[in-house]
Amino acid sequence: MNAIEVHGLVKRFGGKTVVDHVSMDVAQGEIAGFLGPNGSGKTTTIRVMCGLLTPDEGEGTVLGYNIRTESMKIKLQVGYMTQRFSFYEDLSIEENLTFVARLYQLNPVDAVVRDTLEDLGLHSRRRQLAGTLSGGWKQRLALAACIMHKPKLLLLDEPTAGVDPKARRDFWDEIHHLAANGLTVLVSTHYMDEAERCHRINYISYGKLLASGTVPEVVRGAGLTTFILEGPETVSASKALASMPGVDQVAPFGTSLHVVGLDRTALMTSVQEVARDFKVTVHEGETSLEDVFIQFMGRSTDNMG
């Protein structure tokens, strides 16, 4: 069963098409990644799917409810975590969660808040003011507030921006725990390591969905070839490669150079020529999700210009 089935979604603002015929299926219990550059339409698409915006075109269901006619039912079953921390900073963790529990009319409030504090490891800090929390603890509070009403779908809009690596790792461990218990998660992110922790990913650029699938499927489908150059003259080699046939990307990684292109034959010829002219060695490497991300961005046209 799919938790999300939407087809041909279109959303316009002031004559600009922000979401351009997006279709997407997300299975129940799946963690689906939503990737794309800033301004690509990720947040708008999420808001359409959770009932906050009505599409101008397109149809679909979320949790079995029609996105056009049953948006209120969708909202009651969804937890939505935004990029911006949106809790009362002069209230404690416990007071913020009590406020949210009352908004959802959860009963008994004290028991629901107590269980949520325990489940998310917040009990020892329950009396700490929200405004004094670090980024990681603010994130945990926001997640607690999103799931305390036991939603069936969790929508996360770049939830780990500005959070340290340890807090990000802990957050993702919790997300996988929730998904294992049947919660469906749709998460937008700019972090490639986070995208690789999703069951499936969807890449959107300037309103258009360009790719969907598992990470290996998306990387394979991009059709890119990657060569790695190493040696004392990688800087000079990089300058030479920048304008050569078949070279779409040149990026330094430590002391090595990653060269990526769509035309394998032309790319190989250029790389071999540079290897003859400069003190560098060449071997083929694995194309990364970041390489694919950059390639998609380079091919896309800004729809807001």
pLDDT in tens, 33-92: 999 888 888 889 988 988 889 999 999 999 999 999 999 999 989 998 887 777 898 999
- Residue 195 has which token pair? 């995208």
Residue 193 scores a pLDDT above 90: no
Same structural domain, 186 and 239: no
Q: What is the pLDDT of residue 201?
A: 96
Q: How many domains does the chain have?
A: 2
Do 175 and 263 belong together in one domain? no
| Residue indicated by tokens 């959802």 | 104
In a domain, 299, yes or no: no
Residue pair 194/279 in contact (Cβ under 8 Å)? The answer is: no
* Residue 293 belongs to a domain: no
The three-class DSSP label of residue 107 is: coil
| pLDDT single digits (tens) 212-244 | 999 999 999 999 999 999 999 999 999 999 999
Question: Does one domain contain both 139 and 155?
Answer: yes
Q: Quote the CA–CA distance of 75 and 184 in Å, as a whole number.
A: 14
Whether residues 111 and 169 share a domain: the answer is yes
Q: pLDDT at position 301, please?
A: 55
Pairing of strands 208-213, 225-230: unpaired
Please give the single-letter amino acid code of residue 82: T
Domain that holds residue 6: 2-219
What is d(CA 80, CA 157) in angstroms, rounded to the nearest whole number?
8
Q: Are residues 64 and 143 in the same domain?
A: yes
What is the rounded distance in angstroms from the CA atom of residue 251 to the CA atom of residue 291?
9
189 with 213, same domain? yes
| 285 beta partners | 226
